[in-house]
Amino acid sequence: MIKPHGSDELNPLFVYNTEQRHALVEEAEGLPSILLNSAAAANAVMMGGGYFNPLAGYMNLADALSVAEKMHTVDGLFFPVPVVNMTDETVEAGSRIALRDPNVEGNPVLAIMDVEAVEAVSDEQIEFMAERIFRTLDENHPGVATFSKLGRSVISGPIQVLNFSYFQTDFPDTFRTAVEIRNEIAEHGWNKVVAFQTRNPMHRAHEELCRMAMEQLGADGILIHMLLGKLKPGDIPADVRDASIRKMVEVYFPPNSVMVTGYGFDMLYAGPREAVLHAVFRQNCGCSHLIVGRDHAGVGDYYGGFDAQTIFDEEVPEGALELEIFKADHTAYSKKLNRVVMMKDAPDHTKDDFVLLSGTAVREMLGKGIAPPPEFSRPEVAKILSDYYQSLDS
């Protein structure tokens, strides 16, 4: 199986030893504590699950600035985005503190941190990082809006993660750590595994894209890996996405060819940089390939259609990742060929030869109880989504 990023073995920061974890939970009650913001909490969950391998904790300011500028830490570790704990709370360097979860009632302790440094971050440094990560400083960009309000102190140091926030309890059948996914891939005996990232339900085009990638690469299986964390307003909730994706896999894929899983992270909407982060996640999960499609991890019109592919050719150093990407064009149902194709593979087609529907048009149809055409969405999937949208109006 492919090696994790940056090390020979995966280094999850969750404390798996039960006795040790219980002792740390007791210790945490006597420690000074801070309430994390959702972004820092998601970073802790991802470090706990091994997704941010080989990091041992939150980055300091020098590493965060270096990663934002050059995609590597001061010591040269390739990493596409800063993994930080920014706060406005008062923290002392050299202290040991409890990190409390903002997303669970009662704010239980999520992790314990040994604070190595507390550094003030200026507005100019925030803007520098935001511009490099998101390629814009527009406050209407959801990622920029979130990042610019996280806090003005960077607290860095190693952490010990004690639980996986609400993800394990709210999504017990779907949430998986990178450790668990690696183990399951090994149990299947798969060597070549294609990952498909999604924050949306999967329509016919997504389904066929997974099938195309699997066939062209000769893969043993597919990892459908959905984001379970915070999204922007208007995005479809994780439980609805989960139900629709599981139904699609159950009905339209061969048994034991697809793993449907999710991970606990808040969407950044960082386009190209987030696509590279997704590649790090999937390499740490044991996947050999990641499908990167049109406007991967994008939002609005902030990124070019294929910027998330070209960043791998132009900015990711050779050898920085072992995982390879599968470049996908926009896919759609061809009326001429009676099947889903990549649009670039059908040069003799006009726009009218494809079944193309905007997200807005689909939402309006589903809200009225009208099923999109079967060429666009499987009827079983459309039913789940239609029930959801109609519930919003009831």
Q: Which residues are catalytic?
A: 199-200
Contact status, residue 29 vs residue 90, Cβ threshold 8 Å: no
Dist CA 209 CA 290 (whole Å): 12
- Tokens at 250, concatenated: 């159950």
For residue 368, the one-letter residue type is: K
For the chain, the farthest-separated pair of C-alpha atoms sits apart, in whole angstroms, at 69
Residues in the chain: 394
- How far, in Å, are 58, 179, 238, 304, 318 from residue 48 at the CA level? 12, 10, 21, 33, 28
Contact status, residue 158 vs residue 34, Cβ threshold 8 Å: no
Burial (0-12, 13-18, 19+ Cβ within 10 Å), 108: middle
Contact status, residue 117 vs residue 155, Cβ threshold 8 Å: yes
Dist CA 133 CA 137 (whole Å): 10
Torsion of CA 145, 148, 149, 153, to 10 degrees: 160
